[in-house]
């Protein structure tokens, strides 16, 4: 789960929902997730499709949710009352911006393995031409624009690496663990704001690799 920076519902209903959670009238996100990953005695855990349905029926703060069982992966763009769900049996990417509607409108999917003919647009006002990213006051004024650009760059970087995998006759493209490590470490995916990187195995329930971000970025 990760923070979703651009919810589609107004601020006031969001704050009211957060008040209801703090006051104990609505369950928190942690409570909802706990019920999905810790099965009561004598019962079994829901499938990722069932889990997505349960999450869709709950009200909680806007976020991105990724569910995987090792055979298929679902990505949810969750809002107060709406959930957009993408899925793939092989490859899917979610960074810090909404992707579902753009892909749905253009009939695209991450695992297609071909260049997307329609680029993603940045809905935020762009800084004046020639403005430096770190110019005085520029980043603060246009932070939403730069954050969206960074997220699109990370998304495109991973997609390009997936498309670059050689495809054999009658075989599906696949990436080894060392390949994926390299993808995550390389810029713009791995950068000075990266806290940590990890690879998780949903079949075995293991963290296969864990690495902290660059220490000098926090000095």
pLDDT by residue for the chain (219 residues), tens only, comes to: 888 876 666 788 888 988 999 999 999 888 898 888 887 788 888 999 999 999 999 888 889 999 999 999 999 998 877 889 999 999 999 999 999 988 888 888 887 766 677 788 888 888 887 766 666 677 778 888 888 999 999 999 999 999 888 876 667 778 899 999 999 999 999 988 888 999 999 999 899 999 998 766 544
Give CB contacts under 8 A, 24+ apart, made by 57-62.
58/27, 58/32, 59/17, 59/26, 60/17, 60/21, 60/26, 60/27, 60/28, 60/29, 60/32, 61/7, 61/14, 61/17, 61/18, 61/29, 62/3, 62/4, 62/7, 62/8, 62/9, 62/14
Q: What is the pTM of this model?
A: 0.85
């Amino acid at each position: 789960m990760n923070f979703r920076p651009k919810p589609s519902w107004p601020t006031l209903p969001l704050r009211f929902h957060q008040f209801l959670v703090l006051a104990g009238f609505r369950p928190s996100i942690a409570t909802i997730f706990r019920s999905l990953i810790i099965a009561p005695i004598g019962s079994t855990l829901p499938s990722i499709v069932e889990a997505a349905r349960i999450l869709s029926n709950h009200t909680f703060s806007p976020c991105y949710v990724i569910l995987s069982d090792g055979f298929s992966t679902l990505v949810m763009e969750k809002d107060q009352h709406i959930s957009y769900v993408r899925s793939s049996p092989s490859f899917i990417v979610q960074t810090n911006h909404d992707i579902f509607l753009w892909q749905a409108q253009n009939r695209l999917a991450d695992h297609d393995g071909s260049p997307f003919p329609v680029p993603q647009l940045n809905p935020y006002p762009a800084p004046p031409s020639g403005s430096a990213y770190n110019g005085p006051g520029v980043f603060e004024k246009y932070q939403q624009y730069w954050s969206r650009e960074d997220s699109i760059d990370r998304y495109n970087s991973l997609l390009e690496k997936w498309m670059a995998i050689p495809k054999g006759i009658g075989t599906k493209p696949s990436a080894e663990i060392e390949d994926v490590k390299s993808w995550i470490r390389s810029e713009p995916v791995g950068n000075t704001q990266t806290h940590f990187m990890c690879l998780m195995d949903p079949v075995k329930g293991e963290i296969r690799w864990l690495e902290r971000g660059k220490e000098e970025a926090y000095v």
